[in-house]
Structure 1
């Protein structure tokens, strides 16, 4: 599991591309510059790891394209020590970016196969989310609520009510809403009952799966 000067050079190029696409949060850009994305991919994709593309990671899931990771991270307005709930750990790349930004990350993955694979990778890379478990993202993680922000990394037809309930007042919930194509949506909690909603155009995500058991 090597991270070479060549990989660093490719990350620098990727960061330049993200800046051209409108990512301005220096904290986000520094994290993407730091995290070796090629180690989160199947080795057959390693040569393409720093292209702005999504790739399959098994279990019918994908690692989001770097622009999407950067865009969602920027919408969160992450501050050091922020408590962030991530729904859909997947490959763990987004988790690693948030950890590199200084957040305390609580992350949930429904697919057991991915959960096991990513657990091993986190240990190898020394990435330490505050909490990592397999579970139903629709239910959130009440145990550690409330959160400064919540990030959903899969397309959801609706905003799960438990996630809204687990958000701090003033907190930010970023979720791609829709069936085939999603609208990136930001909710800011104003008080116990009111949320301010903002929409940021179309993105494509794998669906957020609900535990039917």
Structure 2
């Protein structure tokens, strides 16, 4: 005696369905019983070239348009509204992609007028502050000297405090050559890596000489400098900086206010007779100036 179902009493087969029972997107059966509808072929895996495109799209933040000129131009227009009017300075900001110098987690803020952390207690300065300092350097008294190239108004430039390398990259578009010193080894290496990337993105970009060392002593081997810019401030300007400033040159650095009210941007000009002239250019906030290397 059989305990199973007879073949006449088998339940209807549910899966797999025969082709004439598969519903079409229009709701009707497929095949002879209904219209034949073209359907998109669904693939369980993407092609290798599509996988590579997706990887690149997620590696480079193109989704927010940070690699486009219009984004940088909007920043330039804000700088212009804030009083940065020097044509060469604005062109430098338009050419240099700031988002390539900031950490991935902060990349959406790259073109806002804000300082951003770059590690080791350091920051990349606000574009408006950098623009103000560059514009002041471009107005140095020695611009009328015969050897000055109008396209490179900063001449021989020394930067103290490389950080992530963004300001050094801007300086390179305005100077004949740039020496940039960083006392923190990890930041020195980060700047070197960032500038390697910039070589691939900015046509005819002039290289920067990066030095790992104590910025307070400047860099005597390539002195004197037509322009000196510091990204850290102390209670006094190091004598080495003043000694390495060329006639007609200009030095810009934050200094602690003598009245104990934070920092003030200080401008020092070396006049043709060799004397130094000090002026102030507004309140700022930079990291403290320190000696030595680490």
Larger relative CO (CA 8 A, sep 6+): 1 or 2?
A: 1
1:200 to 272, 281, 285: 281
Quick check: 1:42–1:57 contact (8 Å CA) kept in 2? yes
Taking the TM superposition and a 5 Å limit, the aligned residue runs for 1:1-213 are 2=60, 6-7=65-66, 8-77=69-138, 79=150, 80=152, 82-126=155-199, 128-178=206-256, 181-191=262-272, 194-211=275-292
Residue by residue, what CA displacement relative to the aligned partner does 1:71-129 show, whole Å, maximum 9, x if unpaired?
A: 11111117517100000000100011111224311110000010011111111221654
For 1:86, what is the secondary structure of its paired residue? strand
Distance 1:75 1:182 in 2: 17
TM-score (norm 1): 0.93
Quick check: 1:106–1:129 contact (8 Å CA) kept in 2? no
Report the more deviating stretch, 5-14 or 161-170.
Answer: 5-14
What residue in structure 1 maps to residue 34 of structure 2?
A: none
Note the residue ranges of structure 1 that are not aligned, 5 or more in a row. none
Distance 1:39 1:183 in 2: 29
TM-score (norm 2): 0.68
Q: Which of structures 1 and 2 has the bigger CA Rg?
A: 2
Instruction: Quote how far apart the aligned CAs of 1:158 are.
Output: 0.7
Distance 1:173 1:162 in 2: 12
Distance 2:72 2:279 in 1: 30
Change (3 A) 1:173 1:49: same
Distance 2:164 2:243 in 1: 27
